[in-house]
Chains A and B, each alone.
Chain A
Amino acid sequence: EVQVVESGGDLIQPGGSLRLSCAASGFSIRSNYMSWVRQAPGKGLEWVAIIYSGGTTFYSESVKGRFTISRDNSKTTLFLQMNSLRADDTAVYYCARMSGARYDDLRGHLYDAMDVWGQGTTVTVSS
C-alpha cells in the first residue's frame, strides 16, 4: 500500500528546534517530489517546502532560512528540520507526494497535485 506516516511533532518553546519525519512505504521518496504542508488550528492549508527527486528545494517565505527539507540516504524518509520556531508555526504538519512529476524543456519542473498524504503530526510552539 502506498502511504506516508509523519512523526516527531511535539510541544516546543519559542526559539526551539524540532525535526519532523515522514516515512514512506509502497514507493520511493528518492524517485518522487515531496512536499510539506501545514494547517494551523482552525485555518486553511499552507504549503511549506518541496524537494525534487534531484534534491532541489524550495520554501515558502514564512519558513525560508528557518526550515530545511531533506531526505535520508536510504531515501525512505523525508525530514523537515525546523529551527527558530515561533508561535505562528503551530500547526498540523503533513507530508505529501507530488504526483505527475516530470521535467519539461520549456517550463522546467512540473507536477500535477499532492496525491498521497499522511495523517499529520502536531507541532505546538508555546511557552
Chain B
Amino acid sequence: DIQLTQSPSLLSASVGDRVTITCRASQGVSSYLAWYQQRPGKAPKLLIYGASTVQSGVPSRFSGSGSGTEFTLTITSLQPEDFAIYYCQQLNAYPLTFGGGTKVEIK
C-alpha cells in the first residue's frame, strides 16, 4: 500500500498567514494526488486534483504543487473559514489512501 505522510499534523496560524502543508508518498504516485478540506461535522470538500489543478469554485488562495513523492498545499492569506483539517489522497494505485490529516488551528 502507498503510505501518505502529512506534515505538520497540527499547524497554528493567524488570519492572513501563508501556510504550507506537505504530503510525502512512500512510492511515486505521478500527479494522481488530491487535497481535501474538512470542517468539523462536515463532509470533505475537494480543493485540488492532479496535484496542482484547483477545483472549480475553490478560492485562488489555494494552490498545489509537486509530483512523484512530494507534494505541497499552500494557502496564501489564511481566512477564518480555512481553519479546518486538510487531507491528501493518492489515486494512483489501489488501495486508494489518504494522509493522516493536518489540522490548521487559530493561533
Contacts and interface: CB of A to CB of B under 8 A. Distances in A.
Interface string B45-89: 110011001010000000000000000000000000000000101
Contacts, number: 62
A45 B98 contact: yes
Interface residues of A, number: 23
A120 to B, nearest CB: 6
Nearest to A62: B95
Given A112-B34, A114-B36, A117-B44, 20 more contacts: A44-B87, A45-B89, A45-B98, A46-B98, A47-B95, A47-B96, A47-B98, A58-B95, A61-B95, A99-B49, A110-B91, A112-B53, A113-B50, A114-B34, A114-B46, A114-B89, A115-B49, A117-B46, A119-B42, A119-B43
A94 B55 contact: no
Interface centre among A44, A46, A112, A113 (most CB of B within 10 A): A113
8 contacts: A45-B36, A45-B87, A112-B32, A112-B91, A113-B34, A114-B44, A117-B43, A120-B43
What is the size category of the interface that chain B forms with chain A?
20 to 34
A100 B51 CA distance: 14
A112 B33 CA distance: 8
Contacts of A8: none
